[in-house]
Amino acid sequence: MYEKDLIKTFGSLVEDALLVISHDLIIKDANAASIRLLGDQVIGTDLNQQIVYSGLAEELAACIHSKKPIEFTTSPTRNHYRHIRARMMSWGEDTVIVLLLDMTLQHNLEKMRRDFVANVSHELRSPLTSLIGFVETIQNSPDMELSVRERFLNIMDEEAKRMSRLIDDLMSLSKVEVDEHLVPEGRVFVKSLLQSTVNAMSNRALKTGHDIRFRDHRAQQNSEPVIRGGNDEIMEVFQNLLDNALKYSFPSSIINVEMHDNEQGQLVINVINQGEGIKEKHIPRLTERFYRVDKGRSRQMGGTGLGLAIVKHIINKHRGQLMISSQLNKETIFKVTLPYLTD
């Protein structure tokens, strides 16, 4: 078979990028997947322009010489931030067929997994180090004043509770992630649920001078809005949003929870607070695990940075949407949209 027929014959057989190159690295032909990966100007360019691998010329010479397939992984390409595994095989005297496998997704997933393990270890280590420190201090100070000892024990209690909260949140997150693809089975009576969540948090709000108000703006206020879902999970969403509203709002301000229907006939619930707000650049990242705008401040308040990650997963599972908008030193709105139960 002639080299010019290679791509015509085999190009559509593989989903990955297939190139035909000459011994001096010039790309002679490319399949549709190569054009998707590297752009439509790829033919005629030097392979060195497309992938970043310092020993490319040597690998190619070895491939032509030995007639054996060669495989290597490239750094991200210059124009496209991609991780690529390349396989080469010689064809005839001075032609080489190159298969480029796009490993970017696997690479990113692997990075996410490593970051997650590093974050969890870090979050657990801080309270644990502090606990060990206080235990040693108490052990080595038999004459410690009772009041000091009491203070240390209170800190230890706080740290132990923080670890316990972190583990609860991690379990919650992993539980929703496992069955995120399954539409929840039960029925949730959202108005009653919101009213009882607001009531349950009102005592805490009183202590900080906050007032949580619930309003139903739907046209049919007497009917109970019902969605398909898990009661505990939907409650967890609003407990988290209200917990944030209380933590990150101005002291003694009003927090509004309001409900209405949108034009698509879905149920919308807004949790609105007045506070410092969130800068635009942070908004897309808030639902990432462990992402906190001010790490120190959030930790001081006992936060783990998992709250909104859990919220996002639960809402996805319920086929809903979460939108966040914020005006600095004014209003911050967490808008939850959920589809009504249809059967």
Ligand X SMILES: Nc1ncnc2c1ncn2[C@@H]1O[C@H](COP(=O)(O)OP(=O)(O)OP(=O)(O)O)[C@@H](O)[C@H]1O
According to DSSP, the β-strands at 226-228 and 95-102 are: unpaired
Distance in Å, CB of 187 to Mg ion, minimum: 27
- The answer to whether 172 contacts Mg ion (rule: CB under 5 A) is no
Distance in Å, CB of 249 to ligand X, minimum: 6
Complex with Mg ion: residue 100 or 194, whichever CB lies closer = 194
Complex with ligand X: residue 91 or 291, whichever CB lies closer = 291
Q: Which does 53 bind (CB under 5 to 8 A by kind): Mg ion, ligand X, none?
A: none
Complex with ligand X: residue 39 or 302, whichever CB lies closer = 302
Handedness of CA 12, 14, 17, 20 (dihedral sign): negative
- The answer to whether 127 contacts Mg ion (rule: CB under 5 A) is no
Complex with Mg ion: residue 275 or 307, whichever CB lies closer = 307
Distance in Å, CB of 251 to Mg ion, minimum: 18
Distance in Å, CB of 58 to Mg ion, minimum: 54
Q: Which stretch binds Mg ion (CB under 5 A): 5-13, 55-63, 122-130, 240-248?
A: 240-248
Q: Which does 275 bind (CB under 5 to 8 A by kind): ligand X, Mg ion, none?
A: ligand X
Complex with ligand X: residue 74 or 172, whichever CB lies closer = 172
Q: Which residue is nearest to ligand X (CB)?
A: 307
Which residues would be at the binding site for ligand X (CB under 6 A)? Answer: 169, 240, 244-245, 248, 273, 275, 278, 286, 291-294, 298, 303-308, 332
What number of chain residues touch Mg ion (CB under 5 A)? 2
Q: Which residue is nearest to Mg ion (CB)?
A: 307
According to DSSP, the β-strands at 27-30 and 17-22 are: antiparallel
Complex with Mg ion: residue 186 or 302, whichever CB lies closer = 302
The neighbouring-strand residues paired with 18 are 99
Complex with ligand X: residue 8 or 285, whichever CB lies closer = 285
Distance in Å, CB of 25 to Mg ion, minimum: 53
Nearest 5°: the CA angle 167, 169, 172 is 110
List 127, 275, 277, 307, residue binding Mg ion (CB under 5 A) = 307
- The answer to whether 244 contacts Mg ion (rule: CB under 5 A) is yes
CB 290 within 8 A of CB 119: yes
Which positions touch Mg ion (CB under 5 A)? 244, 307
